[in-house]
Structure 1
Amino acid sequence: MHNPCALIPVYNHEAAVPAVVHSLLNSGLPCLLVDDGSSPACAAVLAQLATLENVTLLTLPSNQGKGGAVMAGFREAARLGFTHALQVDADGQHDLREVECFLDTSRRHPDAVICGYPEYDDSVPKGRLYARYLTHVWVWINTLSLQIRDSMCGFRVYPLAPTLALMNSAYIGTRMDFDSDILVRLAWRNQPMRWLPTKVHYPADGLSHFRLLHDNVRISAMHTRLFFGMLVRAPMILWRRWQA
């Protein structure tokens, strides 16, 4: 069974999110919006979007962070009867013309996480781009593998059953550390993954909630936790690889 929805965590992206929602609806994909403690102005936009057919709004009582909002959305999507969730950023940086390709790959490989690896244009902030390479190296160390091509791109289709099983048994970062944390932990569980290129554009007037110092400290702490977790799991990871 393959019954997907689009999951869009939103925190004060009232200018960009309507176009994202309409594009996804035009692709025939139901949308689940997660209001992560947005301002009244953004909340009003989301309430209006929720009046559209095939749009559902989940409102969190306070800001939980990107990861917290996505995980709350996963639980709500499963409660609504969806089997898969396409995570999409609300700020319009993802190329939504690629939605059908991701969903088709998910239909053919329903047990796999379908992960985007980004192809950037000149709009990408150079500081963000260079920092990604350090994260790539740590992720390869923490999985003892080069399997994960990019752990920070939030354009993915998750099969909900194994994702919820992981959420119920492990701590996963709730803010900007979420995308890398959950992918490494799924890799530890030998979760199948498929990789597709995806174009990423940073709008000139876009609103970023990435806090350079605070979020980089949080991401560094995540890598430290994962490193020690990898040391404990290394014999199992290497044994599994040897058997394959």
Structure 2
Amino acid sequence: MPPAPSTTHLLLIPSYNTGPRLLSTVQDALAHWQPVWVVVDASTDASHEPVVELSRHTPHLRVILRPANGGKGATVLTGTEAALAAGFTHALVMDADGQHPANRIADFMAASAATPAALVIGKPIFGPEAPNIRLQGRKLSIFFANLEILGPGIDDPLFGFRVYPLAPLHRALTSTRFARRYDFDPEVAVRMIWNGTPTLNIPATCRYLAKSDGGISHFHYLRDNLRMIWLHARLLTQLILWRWPAALRHQRRRRS
């Protein structure tokens, strides 16, 4: 039996050329939570068409089609604005390719309901199939993200399995013209903390899907690493010039 639909918390799945895994990801999500919204970022591979067809006879599934590709952050912003207009207060953002654990959706939503002001951040538990270079790169991202908030608070800035309070998320996204592509996950977490949002970090398993398993990655090694360098340069500059009092307030609240 599917779960009763929530009137406050929805599941948001941004998708761009995800391939055949999109439909199974949506079906798994619907088995654990409703409503589920899929925001398609101008996909060209027709992967969203079976989901659109499913939505025609699934009451709590909605598909939003963006006319032009803008990146994950832009896609989440589209979903956030639509969710706020519909009266929702929180959204769990989940990757479209099946890497995130659908069986943990209800746990994360319950944690959010118990601490509604908090950004609930997933801390990934990888299996042995995860490439070591990816794991080492994450350690560097974790170091810089916590440097930018002057201490702990973001156990993993790259893992996209999170429950966002929508109003603070919208404020963070509209305060910058960045955080629209690969820089979305780390930048929005840091900005929300600077703006006073507390965090709750919860472990969750993460499947690394190779191409042979149907995994699709849009990560471009040179382009996106340069984007991350620029991201941390910007955030560290802002921290030094005027954000450090907000970061210190966050750390004082954590200690208390």
Distance between the aligned counterparts of 1:69 and 1:225, measured in 2?
22
Distance between the aligned counterparts of 1:119 and 1:242, measured in 2?
28
2:234 is the alignment partner of 1:225: yes
Distance between the aligned counterparts of 1:240 and 1:206, measured in 2?
37
Instruction: Indicate the percent of aligned positions where both proteins have the same amino acid.
Output: 33
- Look up the match of 2:53: 48
- Look up the match of 2:157: 151
- 1:70 pairs, out of 68, 76, 80, with 76
2:248 is the alignment partner of 1:238: yes
Distance between the aligned counterparts of 1:56 and 1:121, measured in 2?
32
Q: Which stretch shifts more, 110-119 or 21-30? A: 21-30
| Distance verdict in 2 for CA 1:15–1:242, change over 3 Å | closer
2:182 is the alignment partner of 1:182: no
| Distance verdict in 2 for CA 1:205–1:109, change over 3 Å | same
Shift of 1:235: 3.7
Shift of 1:14: 3.3
Distance between the aligned counterparts of 1:79 and 1:242, measured in 2?
34
Distance between the aligned counterparts of 1:236 and 1:218, measured in 2?
25
- 2:114 pairs, out of 105, 108, 113, with 108
| Distance verdict in 2 for CA 1:228–1:54, change over 3 Å | same
Shift of 1:236: 4.4
8 Å CA contact retained: 2:9, 2:89: yes
Counting only pairs closer than 5 Å after superposition, residues 15-164 of structure 1 correspond to structure 2 as 15-51=20-56, 52-164=58-170
Shift of 1:33: 0.6
| Distance verdict in 2 for CA 1:205–1:242, change over 3 Å | closer
- Structure 1 gaps, min length 5: none
Distance between the aligned counterparts of 2:248 and 2:55, measured in 1?
47
Q: How many positions carry a matched residue from both structures? A: 244
SS in 2 for 1:82: coil
Cα deviations by residue, 1:35-61 (Å, 9 ceiling, x for unpaired): 111015224223213212211111111
- Structure 2 gaps, min length 5: 1-5
8 Å CA contact retained: 2:198, 2:250: no
- 2:220 pairs, out of 207, 211, 216, with 211
SS in 2 for 1:42: coil
8 Å CA contact retained: 1:2, 1:107: no
TM-score normalised per structure 2? 0.89
Cα deviations by residue, 1:146-170 (Å, 9 ceiling, x for unpaired): 2211111000011111211222333
Name the amino acid aligned to 2:32.
S
Q: Which stretch shifts more, 76-85 or 101-110? A: 76-85
RMSD, aligned CA? 1.8
| Distance verdict in 2 for CA 1:196–1:138, change over 3 Å | same
Distance between the aligned counterparts of 1:197 and 1:174, measured in 2?
25
SS in 2 for 1:56: strand
Distance between the aligned counterparts of 1:16 and 1:205, measured in 2?
7
Distance between the aligned counterparts of 1:135 and 1:56, measured in 2?
33
8 Å CA contact retained: 1:93, 1:201: yes
Cα deviations by residue, 1:114-161 (Å, 9 ceiling, x for unpaired): 110000002223222211111111112111112211111000011111
